[in-house]
Amino acid sequence: MRTTSPSTVLVTGAAGYIGATLVRRLLADGARVIALDNLERGHAEQLPRDVPLIVGDVRDPDSVRQALGMFDRTPDACIHLAGLIQVGESTLFPQLYHDVNVVGTQVLADLCLEAGVAAFVMASSAAVLRPLQGVGDRLDEDAPVGPESPYGSSKLAGEHTLRAAAQLGRMSTVALRLFNVAGAAYGLAERHDPETHLIPLALRAAAGELPPLHVFGDDFPTPDRTCLRDYVHVRDVVEAFTRAARLAVAQTASGSAEFQVFHVGTGHGTSVNEVIAACELVLGKPVPRVVHGRRPGDVAALVSDPSKLAQVLNIHPDRDLLRMVRDAAATLGLLDG
Ligand code: UFG
């Protein structure tokens, strides 16, 4: 199928870490981008000044209509990154996660359908999957779902919304199940507020900016007893969004709208201890740490099988953890020179 880049794209959650990086990637493709973000957790200053930002919530139809109306015609694609993303927090506030991630996706998808948007791509998550049985397993798109956390359940419900929307035949929808997004591109640092992700926490603990890192559990059934995750460079992640949007636009144009899922990871599992060692190597100093109890909702291992990503979208993610850590450290201002 011949694919062309969408020329107009609405990006929700555009002021977040992945969102702001994606906006840069789309602009490099020559796209016109409108950003929608409620700025509860995003940072407006991460966006280029010439990208219009609607400060509003995806659950609010008026904000979504305003954002869709900023283009002189219906945008080709909507890339939906707005949402809450913390497994642990979701166990404390399951209703909030349902509201933002499920209701928000429904409102946005309905209004995109109504407006005639051709392609809708959503950030889903590896958290929708049933945890590995064997630690060496790699999970492809046919792997059984069975979320452990309210966060995972909310993302799975969002996928169901997209499947139903595509069945109407007017809008192709794609769920990208992101594994552990890491690294940095376009000089944009990962700065969640509060920060909960391992790599920035470990780097900033080593630099003395944060207290010692809590290692959440050293009693998992993994080789070194700490959790295994699949860390994937944010540069590859935004490439996946860009190419998925292209594919979805082409599918709708050819009269074959459908729903697709892709796993976005490297296919390689890395333990918490291995990440800490990489941070120490990159910074040349120790990561102060204490072993803590398990974090609620954390599973022993989540590792992708990214074969479909390679075959259909021709993306072969970089497996170099040191590069991800170095890029993250550089944008956090933690590398000399
Ligand atoms: N970890 C620690 N200490 C910390 C923070 C994290 O030991 O202070 C451990 C966690 O237990 C986990 C690993 O580091 O084993 C990675 O944790 P992150 O918080 O960085 O990421 P998660 O795996 O919890 O979640 C991320 C995304 C989710 C996505 C998931 C998919 O935030 O949205 O990856 O694998 F679903």
- pLDDT tens, residue by residue, 56-70: 999 999 999 999 999
SS3 254: coil
Residue of the CA atom closest to atom 1 of ligand 1: 198
The band of 80, judged by pLDDT with boundaries at 50, 70 and 90, is very high
Q: What's residue 190's pLDDT?
A: 87
pLDDT > 70? residue 109 = yes
8-182+232-264 is a CATH 3.40.50.720 domain: yes
Q: What's residue 134's pLDDT?
A: 66
The alpha carbon of 197 and the centre of ligand 1 are apart by a number of angstroms equal to 6
Question: Could you tell me what percent of the chain has a pLDDT over 90?
Answer: 89
Residue 284 has which token pair? 């040349």
Do residues 174 and 6 lie in contact, with contact meaning Cβ atoms separated by under 8 Å? no
More confident residue, 136 or 29: 29
Phi, psi of 9 (to 5 degrees): -135, 130
Of 266, 295, 305, 321, the residue with max ligand 1 atoms within 8 A of its CB, to mutate for a pocket test, comes to: 295
The alpha carbon of 75 and the centre of ligand 1 are apart by a number of angstroms equal to 34
Q: 298: Cβ below 6 Å to ligand 1? A: yes
Q: 101: Cβ below 6 Å to ligand 1? A: no
Residue of the CA atom closest to atom 33 of ligand 1: 85
What residues act catalytically?
Answer: 151
Mutual angle of helices 234-253 and 17-28, in 10-degree steps: 60
pLDDT > 90? residue 188 = yes
Residue of the CA atom closest to atom 28 of ligand 1: 85
Residue of the CA atom closest to atom 26 of ligand 1: 180
By CB atoms closer than 10 A (0-12, 13-18, 19+), residue 274 is middle
Whether cis (ω within 30° of 0) applies to the bond prior to 194 is: yes
Within 10 A of 65 (CB to CB), how many other CB atoms are there?
14
pLDDT > 70? residue 245 = yes
Q: What's the whole-model pTM score?
A: 0.97
Taking the CA of residue 275 as reference, the ligand 1 atom at the shortest distance is 14
Q: 272: Cβ below 6 Å to ligand 1? A: yes
pLDDT > 70? residue 337 = no
More confident residue, 194 or 48: 48
Residue 104 has which token pair? 């928000």
Distance CA 36, CA 33 (A): 10
Do residues 118 and 172 lie in contact, with contact meaning Cβ atoms separated by under 8 Å? yes
Q: What's residue 88's pLDDT?
A: 85
Q: 220: Cβ below 6 Å to ligand 1? A: no
The alpha carbon of 65 and the centre of ligand 1 are apart by a number of angstroms equal to 34
Within 10 A of 307 (CB to CB), how many other CB atoms are there?
13
The band of 132, judged by pLDDT with boundaries at 50, 70 and 90, is low
Domain boundary assignment for the chain: 8-182+232-264, 198-229+266-331
Q: 213: Cβ below 6 Å to ligand 1? A: yes
Do residues 75 and 34 lie in contact, with contact meaning Cβ atoms separated by under 8 Å? yes
Of 91, 176, 197, the residue with max ligand 1 atoms within 8 A of its CB, to mutate for a pocket test, comes to: 197
Q: What's residue 297's pLDDT?
A: 75
Q: 214: Cβ below 6 Å to ligand 1? A: yes
- pLDDT tens, residue by residue, 3-47: 777 799 999 999 999 999 999 999 999 999 999 999 999 999 999
By CB atoms closer than 10 A (0-12, 13-18, 19+), residue 212 is middle
Q: 90: Cβ below 6 Å to ligand 1? A: no
198-229+266-331 is a CATH 3.30.365.10 domain: no
The alpha carbon of 78 and the centre of ligand 1 are apart by a number of angstroms equal to 27
